[in-house]
Structure 1
C-alpha cells in the first residue's frame, strides 16, 4: 500500500485534514508532515493578536499521521470496512507551534493487539526541536456502526 493510497482513505474533510504528506509507513510506525497555514480558522480566536496552534489540533495532527495512517496500513489486508478511532492520549507539550510552521510527526508502534493500536508519537519543528510527544491509542471501529 502506497502513502498516496493511505492518504486517500483518511476519513477527514479538507477543513479537518492535518496531513500534507506521508513520508514513510511500515509495520512499526509512520512519518509525515503538515504545515499550519496562517489562514486556518482556529487562529482567529486562539489567542487574540498572538495566534498559537491549539494543543487539541497538535494532538489531532499526531493522531492522524501517527495512529490513523499507521492503522490504515496495518489493516490493509482486513476484508472489513473498519478504521481506527483515537481512544486515549497522554501528550507533553514542550514548545508552541505558530501559524505558518511546518511540523513532522513520527510514530512508533508500541503494540497492536485485541483491536487496539498504541503508538509512541513525537512532533518536531523544522529545526528538529521536539514540540510535543507522548502516547496515543486507538481502537478498530466498524464504519457501518460509527
Structure 2
C-alpha cells in the first residue's frame, strides 16, 4: 500500500484531516507532514488576535500520522479485503515546547514501540520547518478491522 492509498483509507475528512503527505513508512515507523492553514476553524478563537494551534490539534495530528497511518500500513492486508477500520485512542502523554502558528508546516516522526493484539504504541515527535522540536510523546491506540 502506498502513501496515497494509506491517506485515502484514513477515517477522517476536512476539516479534521491533518495529513498532507507521508514521506516514509515501514513496519517500524512513519513520517509525514501537514500545513496548518490560516483559515482553519480553530484559529478563530484560539487566541484572540494571536492565533496558535491548540495542543489537542497538535496531538491529533501526531496521532493521525504517527499511529493511524502506521496502523493502516500494518493492517493493509485486512484493509485490502474491504474491512472497515475502528480506531480508538487508548493513551496519550505529550509534552509541548513551542507553538505552531497559522500556515506553518510540521513534520511528524513516529517509531513503533509495539504492535500486539491490534494495540499500537508509538513514540511520536513533531518538528517545525526550522527543525525545532514542537512536541513529543507516546501515543497508543487500538486499530481493529471488521
TM-score exceeds 0.5: yes
User: Are 2:43 and 2:53, in contact at CA under 8 Å, matched by a contact in 1?
Assistant: yes
* 1:91-134 CA distance string (max 9 Å, x none): 00000111111000000000000221000000000010010000
Aligned structure 1 segments of 4 or more residues deviating by more than 6 angstroms: none
Maintained 8 Å contact 1:53/1:99: yes
CA distance in 2, matches of 1:38, 1:51: 9
Which residue number corresponds to residue 29 of structure 1?
29
Q: Contact 1:67–1:84 at 8 Å: present in 2 too? A: no
Aligned counterpart, 2:17? 17
Q: How many equivalent residue pairs?
A: 143
5 Å-filtered alignment, 1:1-146, equals 1-78=1-78, 79=81, 80-142=83-145
Q: Secondary structure at the match of 1:77?
A: helix
Measured in 2, the distance between the counterparts of 1:30 and 1:84 equals 18
RMSD: 1.2
- TM-score, length basis structure 1: 0.94
Given that 2:125 and 2:133 are in contact with CA atoms closer than 8 Å, whether structure 1 keeps it comes out as yes
Contact 1:71 1:84 survives alignment (8 Å): no
Distance 1:90 1:12 in 2: 22
Task: Please list every run of 5 or more consecutive structure 1 residues that lacks an aligned counterpart in the other structure.
Answer: none
How far apart in 1 are the matches of 2:140 and 2:86? 13
**What's the TM-score once normalised by structure 2's chain length?**
0.94
